Structure 1
Amino acid sequence: MRFFKETQRFDQWWLHLLNLIVLGISVFSTYKAFATKNLDTPERNILILTFITVLIVLGVVYSIRLTTQIDEKGIHFRFFPFQINYKVILWTDMDKCYTKTYSPIKEFGGWGYRGIGRKKKAYNIRGNKGIQIALKTGNMLLIGTQRPKEAQQTINRYLKEDERI
């Protein structure tokens, strides 16, 4: 395989259920606030502000995407909307690169962008499989994947080509 591309989103069933419950409570509370005859109550304003905040947070959660591409140049990844442009890790900057099974909670404290300011970072959306990259600087990076076999095939192709140079 010459090229690998994968896009992941937060689309787990339990997350949809949780978001639906939160949105339902927020919609019901806001509706009740508008249905009352006293229009200037501070509670009503707080509920409206809470409803708007819930909508914004849900909009951000559902816009999050982790896109990974592997090609002859290296590994490109973007954690949108927090990263607008792709970050690229060149094959020449890597000491090791392989797929692995890991424990998201034990190793990184959960999913998302983890390890800010540390030597060991992770970008993951779901599951427990990822592309482990050991950089020549000593830093470690893990990028989650739902297709580890395909990713490993592409990694093997380019790592072998680099060894021939």
Structure 2
Amino acid sequence: MIEFKETQRFTQWWLWLILLGSWGAMVFALFMDPPKTLGSQLIVGILTISLPTFFWQMRLITRITTEGIYVRFIPFHFKEQFYSWDSIESAQVRTYDPLSEYGGWGIKYGFNGQGKVYNIAGDQGLQLVFKSGEKLLIGTQKPVEIQAAVRL
């Protein structure tokens, strides 16, 4: 039984401004000085289209069930990552600084032993500490709802 589900995407206006600005600059440069060979044209065309498409496809899906926590960061995870309740020592929502603690958003490893993070936006996350001592922070835009679904 699913007790919590959240799907997050990169929706920050400033990120899309940078991506679309870069894309526009590439298209303008190609228009002004197009590649001379068909192979070069194909490569540049694919790269030009793929950058915004890559970011548009990215999403972080978090599910909490009676069995545990499932996380999938598309397109990096081909299947959900599963963390059973038995393997988790503690799980608490906390505020964090994405830049100073983890170096930004995405899939990152923290500085000074903070462990791994999966995040898309914001500064709220579900901090998991495993019985093995490892740590994982899962970013969320729904801190109250995700904390209510935690079984520990």
TM over 0.5: yes
- Give the whole-Å Cα distance in 1 for the aligned partners of 2:119 and 2:41: 33
* Equivalent residue letter for 1:29: A
Report the structure number with the largest CA radius of gyration: 1
Q: Please name the residue that 2:16 is paired with.
A: 16
TM-score by length of 1: 0.81
- Give the Cα separation in 2 of the matches to 1:51 and 1:33: 13
Among 91, 100, 107, the alignment partner of 1:97 is 91
User: Within the alignment, does 1:136 sit opposite 2:110 as a pair?
Assistant: no
Which of 65, 74, 80 is residue 80 of structure 1 equivalent to?
Answer: 74
Which residue of 35, 47, 52 maps to 1:53? 47
Q: How many percent identity over aligned positions?
A: 37
| Segment drifting more, 70-79 vs 107-116 | 107-116
When the two structures are superposed, what TM-score results if normalisation uses the length of structure 2? 0.88
- Cα deviation for residue 58 of structure 1 reads 2.0
Partner of 1:150, secondary structure, is: helix
- Aligned mates of 2:115, 2:19 — CA distance in 1: 30
Q: Deviation of residue 74 (structure 1)? A: 0.7
Paired AA for residue 4 in structure 1: F
Gaps of 5+ in 2: none
Q: Deviations over 1:104-152 (max 9, x none)?
A: 1111111100019x77100000000000000000000000000000000
Please tell me whether residue 152 in structure 1 is matched to residue 147 in structure 2.
Answer: yes
Task: Give the whole-Å Cα distance in 2 for the aligned partners of 1:54 and 1:135.
Answer: 41
| SS of equivalent residue, structure 1 residue 3 | strand
Matched, 1:3 2:3: yes
Partner of 1:71: 65
